[in-house]
Every structure is written in C-alpha cells, then in structure tokens.
Amino acid sequence: MIKNDLFLKALKGETVERPPVWMMRQAGRYLPDFMKLKEKYDFFTRCRTPELATEITVMPIRQVGTDAAILFSDILVVPQAMNIEVEMKPGVGPWLPNPVRTLEDVHQVIVPNIEETLGYVLDAVKMTKQELNDEVPLIGFAGSPWTILCYAVQGQGSKNFDIAKKFCFTNPQAAHLLLQKITDTTICYLKEKVKAGVDAVQIFDSWGGMLSPEDYQLFSWKYIQQIIDALKGDTHVIAFGKGCWFALDKMADSGASALGVDWTCSPEMARHLTGGEITLQGNFDPSRLYSPPAEIKNMVHEMINAFGKDRYIVNLGHGILPDIPVENAIAFVEAVKEYKVS
C-alpha cells in the first residue's frame, strides 16, 4: 500500500482533504544536486544508468516534498530504440543527424523489442520503486506520437516544426505509417513500464498546439486515443497536450483518468470544456515561480479554488524552468499542503 495515495485518489475522482501536487520536470535542472550530476555525466548516460535515474527521480521527493515521483528519463529514448539516432547537443538540445524525410526513411524505422532496447528504463522503474518504498506513487511517461514525429522529421527543436508539418501534408502515407510505428512502440513501452511497477502514465503532447484543431485530430489525437485504449485497463493514463485547449472536450471522452491543462486556459474554461466530471491537472504558469514565495502561495490557493479541490491535481502548465529558485518550488508545494477549503 502506498502511504501517500492522494495522487491516486485524485485520479480515481475520490474526495480528498487537499489536492495532490507534483511538477512536470521536477526531477531535474533547477535542483543543485542534479546540476552536480550533470557536470559528471552526459544526458543520455543519466537516462541509461538506472542508479542515476533513480537518484534523480527521488531527489524532489526528498528535497521539495511532492506527492508523486516521475521517472527521470526523456521522450526521445523511444525514437532511439526505433533505429533513429538522437543526440543531446549542449546549447542546442535534441539533435537528430539523420532525420526521417521520405517513405524509404520510414521503412528503416523499427518497432523494437522493448526489453532489449529500453530495458534500462524498466530497471530504473524497479530500482526507483524500491527506493521510494511505497512513500508516493511513481509516474512513467512517453511523448505523443505526433511530438516524437516532430523531432524525428525536423531533426531538432523548432518554433513551428515547419519541416515536420510539410512532411505530413505532402506525404501523408509516410507520415501516418511513421505515426503508427511510434504508437505501436509507445504502447508496448508503457505496458512494460506498468509491469515494472509505475502507478500511472502520462502522455506528453508537447507540440500538439502546433496543429490546427482539424489536423490535431488527424495527426495527433487519433494516435493518443489508441494509446489510452490500450493502457486504460492496466493503469491510470494522463493526457497532456500543450496548447490543445481546443481539444479538451474530445479528450474528456477518451477514457483517460486525467487531462493536463496549460496556463493559457482558465480553470473555469477547462472545467466547462471537459464537462466537470474528469480529473484535471495543472496549470500554474512556470514563469510565475519567479514571483516571491508569498505571492506564489496566494496564487496557488486561488488556482485550487478555481479548479476545486476534488478531481484536481496541482501542477505547472508545462515543465519547471531551469533557473527557478528551489525555495520557490518548495513554496509552490507547501502552498498546496497548507490549503484549507475556504
């Protein structure tokens, strides 16, 4: 039995004394101890070494006090397993030296054996579960097929992913074949993570907001729906689409346990669009963590009041920024723990 099960109760829609809180990218770059490891080990070494991934995953539980842990990893380990080379270049970020640009390139992409290619992630799950000792739940995650395609085709991060979109609109057969391969791999990957011990999974559609509402259904949501359908019988699934408020009504009928909301959509609008029956997660502007701690606490209490304490998980509207003071992150978490229904 997990001692602090607030997060799981919220996913089930149960009544809670206060909502649970965790932060996207909480296991990482704003923590001084993480930066010490970063100086010693390159990015994918940290991802591929279960002992390091475990240490990083547990850091915010010990130092910030969140109600759930999220495994330290990266969405781009999936394309790596699919025979797509991915590097992490300092000052650049993700770099794919041989981007997927043709149907022939798509045929070179494989649906891998997860235990053989991503066994190190499964080992990190098992090790982290042991280290957490049932204190809090552990979240596993994957990128959405569309978001993975964006990197695979563009070859790096982008403000508009124009090359990726051009590929989809000029070569839809290749695009859908690639999306299906990513979907099939992601389903197998998340299922193995559940077997290894994660208590919930989150799908990050970081670049879903790059698409029009119509294209979002065609190139992103239909594949996320496949993942939800495949996983919802095994675990809780959280779907988070950044910039995708326009799809929240459709997402609410997907069978997901919760939906992530970014800071561009008000709590009231998110509740209205989703019908008020599904758990929502979010949506504090990560930049607002630059505010003084007292101001952060007031804003967090206002946010909880706007969402309502039940069927709600307090989080940021996207990942925590690297230069946020640790004491401000702690103030964010403490504000939730101090919350009383007014």
- CATH for 132: 3.20.20.210
66-94 pLDDT tens trace: 999 999 999 999 999 999 999 998 888 99
Please answer whether residues 19 and 339 qualify as being in contact, where contact means their C-beta atoms are separated by less than 8 angstroms: yes
The pLDDT of residue 118 is above 70: yes
142-177 pLDDT tens trace: 999 999 999 999 999 999 999 999 999 999 999 999
Q: Using a cut of 0.95, tell me whether the model's pTM lies above it.
A: yes
Residue 322: pLDDT band (50, 70, 90) is: very high
Q: What are phi and psi of 87, to 5 degrees?
A: -115, 160
Q: What is the per-residue pLDDT for 47?
A: 96
Ramachandran class of 247: left when φ > 0, alpha when ψ lies in -120 to 50, beta otherwise: alpha
253-277 pLDDT tens trace: 999 999 999 999 999 999 999 999 9
Token representation of residue 175:
């695009």
Q: Tell me if 138 is assigned to some domain.
A: yes
Quick one: what percent of the chain has pLDDT higher than 70?
100
Q: Tell me if 220 is assigned to some domain.
A: yes
Q: What is the per-residue pLDDT for 297?
A: 97
The pLDDT of residue 341 is above 90: no
184-217 pLDDT tens trace: 999 999 999 999 999 999 999 999 999 999 999 9
Name the burial class of residue 299, with classes exposed (0-12), middle (13-18) and buried (19+) by CB atoms within 10 angstroms of its CB: middle
Q: What is the per-residue pLDDT for 296?
A: 98
Q: Tell me if 91 is assigned to some domain.
A: yes
Domain that holds residue 110: 6-337
Give the total number of structural domains in the chain: 1
25-63 pLDDT tens trace: 999 999 999 999 999 999 999 999 999 999 999 999 999
Residue 137: pLDDT band (50, 70, 90) is: very high
Q: What is the per-residue pLDDT for 193?
A: 98
Please name which of 15, 18, 76, 65 lies closest in space to residue 340, comparing C-alpha atoms.
18
Q: Tell me if 116 is assigned to some domain.
A: yes
- Higher-pLDDT residue of 103 and 341 is 103
Q: What is the per-residue pLDDT for 342?
A: 67
- Higher-pLDDT residue of 109 and 28 is 109
Q: Tell me if 1 is assigned to some domain.
A: no
- The DSSP string of 226-294 is HHHHHHTTTSEEEEEETT-GGGHHHHTTS--SEEEE-TTS-HHHHHHHHTT-SEEEEEE-GGGGGS-HH
Q: Tell me if 124 is assigned to some domain.
A: yes
Q: Tell me if 342 is assigned to some domain.
A: no
